[in-house]
Structure 1
């Protein structure tokens, strides 16, 4: 590898590590709840515009983000970024032409993923755009959630859900990866709903548990439930999640990595719940 390219690759890796470390430190100093709540709001505001990983990246750096794009894109819209504004760094794929074999006449170049780079973006509030053109935060799902509708949505799109009439001395619910099935034990609706979100995240993230540690899978599932709960404005989500987040999270860097995976599951759960007609939508 040419020395110049090797140096560039080294700088990219160092920036990755520095960015991850700084965001992990932010979680350590401000608390997991603050960053997770911001990620929940940004997940709803920017859903469909960025990957869940970049949603977490944006939320950790600029929690109030409502519309985000690059420097040149804002200039083309006539709203240049204000001088002195600090960039929000996200990950972007890096592609290169595939050189295996020769390309025939009329064939298009084949591009393959070579890795990721960090790129700067800015929120609309960092530009010269007047406040009247700012997007209104779109809480597409809000208010009280009907347990029955949520169960049907998860059952139809993520994994079969079985409601048992009896309680369990230790568990509120469970996910069986072999059967790919969620079981909810008897409990108040609010408890069952939170458990449903947790187990749905397991179904999305942990169908294959080979080599996974208990702390890792429980941390990821509960963080996904936490993100969805805040996006839905569910009461008591902080208290319900406190046990998992305190028991299974010791290292802020682990939490940051878990948040990125959890956001992927949270986006899919929100998409499933959004299809339920009993969920009240924002005007």
Structure 2
């Protein structure tokens, strides 16, 4: 994992060898994503949306994982609920059952880029710089593949009831500088996004209202300025609906509308599907992170880097 110091010599150094290996491994990660997206497209072209539904569901369950690793988990074990490595499961008092096969993901390999002595002496704090060398195969296991001590249920997770998630979502929306109001005149629409303002039709059931809020918040976070120009109305609506699906599914709401609509999004374009899936994953992760902790602690400054990278 360690890298050698950079030299000005024209000969190939250990560092440049590692750099080439890094580029090759990063390309391998990109190829893995491309292969998984292509598999999704082939399934959709054959009229099967199970893989896409599994991926959208996995976005919520594993929103702290990378885009590529969520694809890997959904492809290898579509019904996975909670995944962790051998050591993590052992720490929780559980063992992987004999004969179970791990779910392959890509784990980052971090190396150290050493500065020249003269450069390092100027500031000892930056003597060694951590750099991404590449990726390696790692294996995680779903809870269904383990046995042992019962896991504690997450108190925040609810079924058919949004509970305190509604207030956390509203706090998050307001923290982004987005105004919110109830407005009867938008009927028959359930919600509207005006650019800096969300209007919701009053009288909706709590679960429906929550889903509408996520949908309109997604428009506010994603579909203004450059991305609005670069996408069609169909793409924007299906992205927002897919995010509402991911977030709602994660907190236990019964929602199954996204896959039927989302199938029309990609129109056979692998690049478009890849871009949209990554945007959906990153935006869902930002919203879910706000729901996990009091949303007042989630500021615009924390959310913007993720969204900027996605778009």
TM-score of the superposition, structure 1-length normalised? 0.69
Deviation per residue, 1:4-26 (Å, 9 max, x gap): 45752453244224311332244
- Of 247, 253, 272, the residue aligned with 2:290 is 272
Total equivalences in the alignment: 264
Instruction: Give the drift of 1:113.
Output: 4.6
How far apart are the structure 1 equivalents of 2:32 and 2:104?
11
Q: Which stretches in structure 2 are left out of the alignment for 5+ residues?
A: 1-10, 44-49, 296-311
- The correspondence of residues 1-283 of structure 1 with structure 2, limited to 5 A, is 2=12, 4-5=17-18, 8-9=21-22, 11-28=24-41, 29=43, 30-43=50-63, 47=64, 50-51=65-66, 54-63=69-78, 64-69=80-85, 85-90=101-106, 92=108, 94=110, 96-97=112-113, 99=115, 102-104=119-121, 106-111=124-129, 113-114=131-132, 117-123=135-141, 131-133=147-149, 135=151, 138=154, 140-143=156-159, 144-145=161-162, 149=167, 152-158=170-176, 159-168=178-187, 171-177=189-195, 180-186=196-202, 188-189=204-205, 190-210=207-227, 212-214=230-232, 215-235=234-254, 237-239=255-257, 241-242=258-259, 244-251=261-268, 253=270, 254-274=272-292
The 3-state SS of whatever aligns with 2:35 is helix
- Segment of structure 1 superposing worse, 221-230 or 112-121: 112-121
Instruction: Give the drift of 1:230.
Output: 0.9
Deviation per residue, 1:107-133 (Å, 9 max, x gap): 343526557535323226598x6x113
Q: Which stretches in structure 1 are left out of the alignment for 5+ residues?
A: 278-283
Q: Aligned in 2, Cα 1:225/1:124: closer, same or farther, shift over 3 Å?
A: closer
Q: Aligned in 2, Cα 1:51/1:26: closer, same or farther, shift over 3 Å?
A: same
Larger radius of gyration: 2
Instruction: Give the drift of 1:245.
Output: 0.8
Instruction: Give the drift of 1:270.
Output: 2.6
Instruction: Give the drift of 1:80.
Output: 8.1
The 3-state SS of whatever aligns with 1:248 is coil
Instruction: Give the drift of 1:139.
Output: 7.0
